Structure 1
Amino acid sequence: MRICLKYVPIVLCLFVISCKQVNRNVTFFKDTKAYDLAKAVEKEDLNKVESLVKSDIKLLEVIDPVSGSNVLSLALTLENFECFKKLLALGANPNFINPITKRSVLIDACTFYSKPEPYTIDLRYIRLLLEKGANPNYIVENDFTDKEGNYHMATSAIHEASALDLTMVKILIKAGANPYKKLEQNQSPPFSSALKGFKNKFEITNYYIDSLNVDINEPISINVQMPSNKVVKFYIQDEVVNKYLLAKIKGDTLEINKLKKENKEIEKANSEGWKFILKLEKLGIDFKNYEYKNNDYE
């Protein structure tokens, strides 16, 4: 027992040290003059944040060389709202664009949050950014690969929001975001993001159809296949339909029963999707005769 006990202080010491480790995103600032400010943001020490910024306003412009973030972006990443608010009040740029990802801080704010629990929608960040003059129409027009070989996708704030939350979409539109603006990449409109959304995607897509009157007959994406350079247009049918729903559209009872045996919850899981298809059919969308781009359906 004595042999074991003599290691306890060491173990406790290591535990304390590990608990005090600086967040990885903060360490990216280590070799910059904004490192102390970054640590103050992590600790949510508002007084120190204010003192450091007032002593050197240019600290707000310092960019970490690893992720391309500034301290405002860091506060967003750490989900420290009071620090985020304080930095904006002290003069942080609400239109900051990460030089590596090309994303604006507003685009990054259109996301799920982990506080107080995973997949939380926290609208305070985008509301505050927009109040401070953030541009709701800034776009990363095309996909690209950065110098480190990391791939980044074309996007905008409204594209991000459309896959997440209806209220977020409405806030952006009220602030001037264009809900019809397509990306140069694949000519994808925000409506296409809504179609690819999460559990509330039908609430958002119905808003685009019923309130924003989007053209449901136009392509949701135009892709160029390489190396043939063949242009392929994807329409709403390609995004809405899956194997089970296609079997229902075709009245293929054998396929329906087969899929139900494989997954007893499949009908319930697709109930909203089926209602959406029936709605689209009433609006003139042809599902029965459409040539689907996904070969897995055949």
Structure 2
Amino acid sequence: MHFSKLFANELNEQETRYFILDTKGADPQHGDVDFIKYRWQTNKFGLVRTGDLFLYRRPGKASETNKFYFFGAGKVGSIKLLEPRESKRVEAEITSPYPFTSFIHPGDLEFFNWEFKDRKEGTWEHFFNQYGMNQIKKADFMAILKMSGFESNLYYDNLAATQAVQSIQKQNYYVEDEMGEAPRRSKQGVFSSVVKNNYQNSCGLCGLSTSSLLVGSHIVPWSKDKSSRLDPSNGISLCVLHDKLFDQGLISFDNSLRLKVSSLIKRDAVLKGLVLGIRRKKLKKPKVASPRPEYLEYHRENIFKK
């Protein structure tokens, strides 16, 4: 569902407020669960009300990239006061969850014109509130949403995408076959976004970092193993050229993540020139979810054309 429909009532309501909420993900100590519930202390930040809209931000200290990024949006549902009451700690139900199909990183926002606050050029220091909650303008909220991939995604199912987010955080990577095209593509989109994020939003082989040219590529194909479909360690971030070569079995990786090149490459002089120059190059190892050896072995044995 497009965000203009999902948030239609709130976007047309003048009283709606807009926020950025920082979250560390599934955080048992703090009590937050992405797209499910969010906690804060009203004596530190008491502006959020039921019906308000927000953007999710992962702060740098909790990020796989060591830098902040925006990864979703939602609506604040019912808010309840937690015990002990004197702590002024509250918990909000998150409704209308909307995981982003493309995460938004600092580099994407270098020339972004925020309306809620002026940013000093070249730095994000002291820009976001230290309590992890910022009130922003409607224009900021809408502009970030339009950057997140919704406009061009005709198959987006926000509920299926939310299920994929929760499954990955719970390390339950199984996905059944029986679903429509929109849910399947939405879950695949979440997987791809997570994988690309793990590789610092660049090709793990050549370093290309243009977001539109990156793919979170499955090692064991989606069609071959239901139990690993959402496993981030079954993915590699590759540019479109290297993704296609990997998918077609013209390149692979050994267990030390060193590149292997098919002998078929030599049949195309142009392709040979592009690929043989990086032969034996090692894949950049991500901070989290490095490729599992058994997945790489499957690719070498069943897909790679020696």
Q: TM-score range by the shorter chain?
A: 0.3 to 0.5
**Higher Cα Rg, which structure:** 1
TM-score normalised by L of structure 2: 0.32
Name the structure with the higher helix share.
1
Structure having greater relative contact order (Cα 8 Å, sep ≥ 6): 2
